[in-house]
């Protein structure tokens, strides 16, 4: 069944959120804060590790060289300009505010922030894209099952520490991965290994930024940087950059 992986992934996000909602109150506030910082550091290391793994290549005579640095600079800069002009952070925030009203959570001041942070954490990344493509093209949803397990744990912790807004990240997960599945047959013929590598590299940099947001008060508008992923894929087809 095409899309089964996304359905299971979405269900795991909801289950993780419900577990966090039910048992989060049993966890002392100081422990919740410690868990939030711990989760932020974990997310940062996942993002940094994923990006560095794509950037480093073995050098002659030992050691490593870096690659694709110029692509990162251009894609991040152009993507951030586009996202800031559209103000994706504000648009996603509006959707979060709408959900806040519909779920009668107007007294929950952290609802929208929890929704945006959780959505960016579990939507951005190569696992979502590659997993959805494998689901659509090869009926292989093993990557999305693995992602779902990670998401369950992540959203459980985020719901405990940030609030119930994190549960509703299931909506953008379902929509994002669903759209990729629908477009997979159009994307696959033009996607190269290099394009997938660049997508993963830039996506992991954004994941690092999400983790950074979890451990400090001053927030990076990660949503406004999302177009960088698209720019990175497009630049993979520019000869002088490759």
- pLDDT for position 89: 84
Write out pLDDT tens, residues 203-224.
Answer: 889 888 888 888 887 788 888 9
Angle formed at CA 44 by CA 38 and CA 47, multiple of 5 degrees: 140
Region of poorest pLDDT, from 44-48, 117-121, 185-189, 230-234? 185-189
Rounded mean pLDDT of 87-99? 86
Write out pLDDT tens, residues 99-133.
Answer: 888 888 877 788 888 898 888 888 876 678 778 87
Per-residue three-class SS string for 46-91: HHHHHHHHHHEEECCCCCEEECCHHHHHHHHHHHHHHHHHHCHHHH
Cβ-in-10-Å burial (0-12, 13-18, 19+) of 195 comes to middle
- pLDDT for position 126: 64
Q: What is the mean pLDDT of the chain?
A: 86
Measured in whole angstroms, the distance separating CA 132 from the mean position of its chain's CA atoms is 14
Record the pTM: 0.79
């Amino acid at each position: 069944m095409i899309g089964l992986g996304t359905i299971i992934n979405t269900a795991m996000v909801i289950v993780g959120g419900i577990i966090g909602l039910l048992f989060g109150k049993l966890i002392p506030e100081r422990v919740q804060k410690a868990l939030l910082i711990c989760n932020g550091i974990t997310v940062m290391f996942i993002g940094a590790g994923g990006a560095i793994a794509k950037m480093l290549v073995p050098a002659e005579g030992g050691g490593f060289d870096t690659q694709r640095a110029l692509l990162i600079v251009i894609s991040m800069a152009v993507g951030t300009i586009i996202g800031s002009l559209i103000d994706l952070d504000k648009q996603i925030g509006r959707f979060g505010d709408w959900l806040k009203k519909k779920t009668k959570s107007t007294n929950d001041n952290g609802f929208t922030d929890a929704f945006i942070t959780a959505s960016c954490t579990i939507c951005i990344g190569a696992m979502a894209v590659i997993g959805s493509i494998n689901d659509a093209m090869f009926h292989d949803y093993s990557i999305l099952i693995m992602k779902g397990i990670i998401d369950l744990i992540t959203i459980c912790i985020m719901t405990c520490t940030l609030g119930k807004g994190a549960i509703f990240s299931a909506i953008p997960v379902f929509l994002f991965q669903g759209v990729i599945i629908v477009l997979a047959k159009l994307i696959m013929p033009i996607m190269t290994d290099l394009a997938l590598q660049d997508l993963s590299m830039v996506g992991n940099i954004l994941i690092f930024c999400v983790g950074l947001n979890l451990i400090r008060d001053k927030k990076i508008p990660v949503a406004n940087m999302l177009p960088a992923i698209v720019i990175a894929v497009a630049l993979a087809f520019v000869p002088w950059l490759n």
